[in-house]
Chains A and B, each alone.
Chain A
Amino acid sequence: MITRQPCWFALALVFLALALQCAQVRGDADFESVRVLMTEDSSGKGGDPKEKYWHESVFHPHYDGRFTNHALDYEDQKTNLTAAMQAYLSTMVDLGADTWIMHGTLLGWWWNAKIMPWDSDIDVQVSLKTMHFLASYYNMTIHHYATSLMPTGGRNYMLEINPGYTNGSPDDKLNVIDARFIDTETGVFIDITTVRIKEGEEGILQVKDRHEYKAKDIFPLRDSIFEGQPVKIPYNYAELLEEEYGKNSLTNTKFEHHTFNSTNFEWERTS
């Protein structure tokens, strides 16, 4: 039965419902909603500002406290980061999303196409279009992988997007990382940032962490291999590395208590 008088009321209700649907959900994925094995939350949520989306663990800045309460030792960390990298690259290829490695991870690729053993921070980049795509369809998705590196049963990786990615201003210092690819068992993750065209300047790309690059230095991307997986590399990799880390980073074979063996191309621990 359709009445005439409460018509406006019904319409108002409908609009309210629609508005609620379209409203941007700013809540983060809190411990209760994502936890797998943990009973206690080790994320630093309590101490972080309200605007900050990510809450790194209280014991280590590169571990997610919702999934673990301790950092891994040297060997385990190396293995798990490698597994995470392989899973990420594989996922991106499956999704058809362009991504490339940067910063310390690119330097590791330069030396021997692997993550540097002491590096706990993995950095990759995507274009804004790719980020829109991931955010629209693949936020909070779990990707299951079973490889030789993992124990039986395989591993689940969660792709989480920071809603603050829509704000491209470098002034948003609390939300510099736009997305993370998180190992839900060990808490290690990969940082994903977005390159955006800098307003007003042609041919310059910028990232929220205040890095700026010439578009010519990144595109067109090169196809290479990293940790046994196909990966994309920025076009002018040597110059990018030199600008960020200095000439020594390309020639010095001694870093962080490790020595590079130029015969078997491995970083060997010296202390």
Chain B
Amino acid sequence: MGTALAPESSSPRSSSPSASLDSDFETEIDSNTVDILNQQHYLSPPDHFRPAQQQHFQRHSLLAADEKTYLHAETPDSLTSASQADEKAYFDEFWDNFHKKRKRRSGLPPLDTYNGSGYSVDGTMNGRRRSYNARAYELSHQRPTLVQFVKNGWQAQNTHSGWSSPTEIAPSWTQILSAPRIRRWTLIFLVSVSLLWLYWRRSWMDAWTEHRTLSDAVKGRLRSDLGYFGTNMLPEFVGMTQLGTLDTSFVPGPRDSKRLIFIGDIHGCHEEFSSLLSELSFNPEADHLVLTGDLISKGPSSSAAIDLAIASNASCVRGNHEDRVLLAYRDLQYHHRLSPHTDHHAKGEKVPTPPNPGNPNAAKEAESDVDPDQGIDAEHFTSGDFVDQQLARSLSKQQINYLALCPVILDVGPVKDMGRVRAVHAGLVPGVSLQRQDPLSVMHMRTLDLKSHVPSRGATGTPWTKIWNKYQSVLPKRERTTVIYGHDSHRGLQLESGPEPQIVSVNCKDYRPKRASTEELGSS
């Protein structure tokens, strides 16, 4: 740039180092011009000292006259008269000194910034670079002029690509890691990792651990039955049918308009049962009802509910309340309390003569009569047994027969998109054949123990459905089984898979302080 000016006279200053380098230029520049030029181009060290920029600095930068005061005594002279080789030598010497100083000061932490800008000796072009103690550098070298850094030879001199990487000394690991950029990114990395971990822990960890435990629970079972529930012999119970099969003609095919309707836990709410059937437009010709247990007990009209079920030709499954009432009935029979000659009251007596089916007060009437026999068996008739025995008394033989024929497990058979379908009252243990399912558990279970698959009545723990679904997911599609169940009214309707269901329900009256709930679902 400065070379554009036409020199007028030669002066000692014109033979400045930079000017002398340019062999093209024989012209001389007067001091004024030089001043102007230097003011424009020269960077004062306190404010703008950037060695990197110095590389791009004009080859033809000129020094102002007053700049001489900054110069070391030796440097300008040596440079003025030096040829390129000498300059190279000087350059080497300079760097040697510089690095020696750096080495001495290697224990000291370098300055982070020099007036807000970071710079380094490696002379990389952009951005952050390692810092060094520029002041110390200045002081120790008494600052060779800027122009000394700009030489023709620097392009050709590959050895002094020490600008970019002083190969004599590689930075140590501590130096790398303590660089501000590294530290900054490390911090960002750690913070984001911990945030991610917290997020995962909060949202996903529970699901993940559940998935893992379920997988383990299921895979163990698939490998071997030992140590899991269901290895014992099936207990044999008199008057209990383990397995029943639904007539295949009831199962809807893909093209017909038949419906298979499942209703669970009616609990003697005969009115609601009846209105639900009319809501569904129940057509006995085309539709078939399957009741998933607990048709009786708790509600006001168990007897009427059974009659409606019989009239609708409904299939049924044995629930825990049916179980109790049927056992109580057997008990009464065994102790001959149902035969007429031992009974001391006739009012409201339904056994052995056929009862009045629609009488909702039958149970209450029987209750109000004092049975002299009961006084002797007071210890049998504690609260658990008494209610069931009363209900058993109020039912007719035909009704009892209907309940007694309900199997514990009903095999509905294969249904499109649902695999093999089974209906039970409470649940099934995965990995156990239908013949070996423990009947008590099938009628009561809500949860399964993860390790041993022992079923439990209680609600705390892993719901058996989770383990069941996990187990099914591991099986090939054609071997999967769908279970339709009732019993667990607290959890309510749970539909795991299949198409969007259409739910039909009716409201129930509150017959007790504790609501006798019915989970009513209509599914085709």
> Footprint of B on A, CB under 8 Å?
109-113, 127-129, 195-197, 202-203, 205, 214-217, 219-225, 230, 233, 235-239, 242, 247-248, 250-253, 260, 262, 265
Contact = CB atoms under 8 A, between A and B. Distances in A.
B239 A235 contact: no
Contacts of A239: 456-457
Contacts of B4: none
Given A129-B379, A221-B327, A250 B385 contact: no
A214 B453 CA distance: 25
29 contacts: A109-B235, A110-B232, A111-B232, A112-B233, A113-B235, A129-B376, A195-B379, A197-B378, A215-B384, A219-B385, A220-B328, A221-B327, A221-B331, A224-B236, A235-B324, A236-B440, A237-B440, A242-B454, A242-B456, A247-B449, A248-B452, A250-B229, A250-B232, A251-B452, A251-B453, A253-B227, A253-B231, A262-B225, A265-B232
Contacts of A203: 382-384
Nearest to B453: A251
Interface residues of B, number: 39
B440 A215 contact: no
B50 interface: no
A224 B237 contact: yes
A75 B229 CA distance: 29
B228 interface: yes
B349 interface: no
Given A129-B377, A216-B385, A251-B231, 4 more contacts: A195-B379, A224-B237, A237-B440, A250-B454
A110 B441 CA distance: 13
Contacts of B453: 251
Interface centre among B228, B378, B385 (most CB of A within 10 A): B385
Nearest to A132: B376
Q: Which of B228, B235, B376, B388 has the most CB of A within 10 A?
A: B235
B241 to A, nearest CB: 14
Contacts of A237: 235, 440
A205 B232 CA distance: 29
A135 to B, nearest CB: 15
Contact of A127 (B226, B228, B238, B379): B379
B228 to A, nearest CB: 6
A252 B227 contact: yes
Given A112-B232, A127-B379, A203-B384, A220 B454 contact: no
A12 B330 CA distance: 53
**Which 10 pairs across A and B sit closest by C-beta, in order of nearness?**
A216-B384, A215-B382, A220-B327, A223-B238, A219-B385, A265-B233, A251-B452, A262-B231, A247-B454, A215-B384
A224 B452 contact: no
B380 interface: yes
Contact of B233 (A113, A196, A219): A113
Contacts of B382: 197, 202-203, 205, 215-216, 219
Instruction: Describe A's contact surface by its main secondary structure.
Output: mixed
Nearest to B330: A223
A196 B378 CA distance: 11
B377 A260 contact: no
B322 interface: no
Interface string B376-405: 111110111100110000000000000000
Nearest to B233: A265
B520 interface: no
Nearest to A216: B384
Given A129-B377, A214-B384, A220-B328, A113 B227 contact: no
A221 B328 CA distance: 8
B438 interface: yes
A235 B235 CA distance: 13
A203 B441 CA distance: 22
A251 B227 contact: yes
Contacts of A224: 235-238
Nearest to B327: A220
Contacts of B231: 251, 253, 260, 262
B235 A233 contact: yes
A54 B239 CA distance: 39
A239 B447 CA distance: 13
Contacts of B452: 247-248, 250-251
Given A129-B376, A251-B231, A251-B454, A220 B383 contact: no
B415 to A, nearest CB: 31
Contact of B380 (A214, A219, A225, A230): A219
A9 B235 CA distance: 67
Nearest to A114: B233
Interface string B358-382: 0000000000000000001111101
Contacts of B376: 129
A242 B453 CA distance: 13
B97 to A, nearest CB: 82
A110 B454 contact: no
Contacts of B330: 220, 223
A128 B231 CA distance: 36
Contacts of B440: 236-238
A214 B233 CA distance: 26
Given A221-B331, A250-B232, A253-B231, A238 B441 contact: yes
A71 B405 CA distance: 48
A129 B229 CA distance: 37
Interface string B176-204: 00000000000000000000000000000
Contacts of A216: 382-385
A217 B384 CA distance: 8
A225 B76 CA distance: 118
B235 A223 contact: no
A111 B456 CA distance: 18
B327 A222 contact: yes
A230 B454 contact: no
B235 A110 contact: yes
A220 B325 CA distance: 9
A237 B237 CA distance: 12
Contacts of A111: 232-233
Nearest to B229: A251
A196 B140 CA distance: 105
A223 B449 CA distance: 28
A220 B233 contact: no
A112 B382 CA distance: 31
Nearest to A196: B379
Given A202-B383, A238-B438, A220 B324 contact: yes
Contacts of A250: 229, 232, 452, 454
Contacts of A205: 379, 382
Given A242-B454, A251-B229, A253-B231, A197 B236 contact: no
A110 B232 CA distance: 7
Nearest to B382: A215
B443 to A, nearest CB: 11
A238 B229 CA distance: 11
